Amino acid sequence: MGRKRLRLRRPRGAAEILSAAVVALAVLALAVRTAAAAVGALKDAWPFLLAVVLLAGAVGAWRVARAVAGRRRDAERLATLRIALAEFDAMDDRQFEYALRDLLVRDGWSARRVGGGGDQAADVIGDHTQRGRIVLQAKHTRVGGKVGSSVMYAVKGTAGPAHRADYGVVVTNGTFTRDAMAWGDRHGVHWVDRDRLRRWAENGTALHEFLGLSARSRRARSWRVA
């Protein structure tokens, strides 16, 4: 058997109306007293609340200032960043990618490391207000290791279509085969071998300077595959 729904009915008769009015007045009086007590408590506690607000503001300002100072220190460090070839040789693949990212940042690119599974031949991507987007494929090798043409093919096939890049560059701490260098030069895939890496990282020459990456133009983007 279902439960009966409660239904409110209007007061009937003068006695019920008077009783309802008394209850309503009592509820209203209780609400007024509660509100007054709350206001009184706030008036008594306002110095404490103000102190809490000021403390929270000071903590927030300190955190912002610390973050700004940290970014400034990072920028100053990267502005004079130099990395020796011996340091590159001692790195693992991941460290090598982060080092290349930092070098791009030093040169004025807004860069990020994206290497990993399914990176589509892009380990570092950098954006520049004048030069557009650059994709770096990092190939960390043992001393004396050589990078072949297959890496050039991969960068050519993905840098433009997958990453919308204006430039594709393969960077290694080793060397390239003659076929790889010739194919890259012919098809617009730039390469940085051990000697060029020294110029970039140790000597401080900007990557776009010795690779001849001019301001972005239709010609600079012409190698991209739509």
What pLDDT, in 10s, does the model give residues 55-82? 788 878 767 766 655 555 555 556 679 9
- Containing H/E element for 171? strand 167-172
Q: Which residues contact 152 (CB under 8 A, 6 or more apart)?
A: 170, 180, 183, 184, 187, 189, 191
Q: Which residues contact 196 (CB under 8 A, 6 or more apart)?
A: 210
- Highest-pLDDT range among 1-15, 61-75, 183-197: 183-197
What pLDDT, in 10s, does the model give residues 207-222? 999 999 877 644 445 4
- Burial status of residue 108 (CB atoms within 10 A of its CB: 0-12, 13-18, 19 or more): middle
Cβ atoms within 10 Å of 222's Cβ, excluding its own: 10
Strands of the sheet containing 124-128, edge to edge, are 110-113, 124-128, 132-139, 167-172, 189-192
CA-CA distance, 141 to 93, in Å (whole number)?
9
| Cα within 13 Å of Cα(215), Cβ side | 2
Helix, strand, coil percentages (3-state) for the chain, rounded to 5, are 60, 15, 30
pLDDT recorded at residue 71 = 56
SS3 call for 62: helix
Type of residue numbered 45: A
CA-CA distance, 191 to 211, in Å (whole number)?
9
- For residue 41, is pLDDT > 80? no
CA-CA distance, 100 to 112, in Å (whole number)?
10
pLDDT recorded at residue 220 = 46
Q: How confident is the model at residue 225 (pLDDT cuts 50, 70, 90)?
A: very low
Domains and CATH numbers, the chain: 12-80 (no CATH), 85-221 (3.40.1350.10)
